[in-house]
Structure 1
């Protein structure tokens, strides 16, 4: 059960929070990303359990050392008070050049300070061929006007 919080999302602020998270993850700066999470933030990512910013930074460094040319799109699914549910897809390739599209869902819970204190992510990887890739923008934030997950029918 979530503790009482003064932090409450509106639809607009929840959508903005999702886009800010997408942009940050596409920027691939673990130290900057970690600042969006509480110092004692708790994560489950696939089968890995993390606690705290240092663990988040180490996780993200490992992730992007393995998941090359990473491009991510996030989309809000639902929100209520201090929680947001997100669906996402990202494309990447491994060191051997094999491409993947990873699909997932995240549940986020925020503290009264607006920092994420809990992140629960479930993710599945689908091998794809290079011609089947859909995320082609330059490294960094997805350009405004680039199709969303819904527009791509993903």
Structure 2
């Protein structure tokens, strides 16, 4: 299975890969997202460590059951050969209706087929007022073209 664009990445293809990941995660479909990773992909998400597509599917299912009305923006931070670093923000609310903005960085490593074989994510959450939300497009679904990335938005 191949998942273009393939390494080695250029600025354009690395940014395309980041946007494709953003769009997939905004679908909130664990099956769709998991297909972007190798069968034995290694993950660190916050303080959780796991390996493989089945673990990825289970993790994402738990995540989106807790992080409701999830909306994400990822921006390319750096790239080299088969590695990409992104920064991201996402907004969500918990079962009690409290809104949060999560800030993070990810480091990705890809195999020759364009599948991610390693993902390391560091994430911090901040509770926000509903009126402070910035990500208000209809979800699930991709961020509309007229909604700016993080480079154009405040911290």
2:148 maps to: 147
Is 1:106 equivalent to 2:103 in the alignment? no
Give CA deviations for 1:58-96 in whole Å, capped at 9, x if unaligned.
000000000000000000000000000000000000000
Question: What is the count of residue pairs matched by the alignment?
Answer: 149
Q: Which runs of 4+ in 1 moved over 2 A?
A: none
Q: Which runs of 5+ in 2 are unaligned?
A: 1-5
2:75 maps to: 75
The Cα of 1:121 is off from its aligned counterpart by 0.1
Give CA deviations for 1:15-55 in whole Å, capped at 9, x if unaligned.
00000000000001111111100000000000000100000
Q: Distance between the aligned counterparts of 1:100 and 1:111, measured in 2?
A: 34
User: Any residues of structure 2 matched to 1:117-128 within 5 Å, and which?
Assistant: 117-128=117-128
TM-score, structure 1 as length reference: 0.95
TM-score, structure 2 as length reference: 0.94
Secondary structure of the residue aligned to 1:43 is strand
1:35 maps to: 35
Aligned-residue CA RMSD (Å): 0.9
Give CA deviations for 1:95-117 in whole Å, capped at 9, x if unaligned.
00000000000000001111000
1:3 maps to: none
1:116 maps to: 116
The Cα of 1:7 is off from its aligned counterpart by 2.9
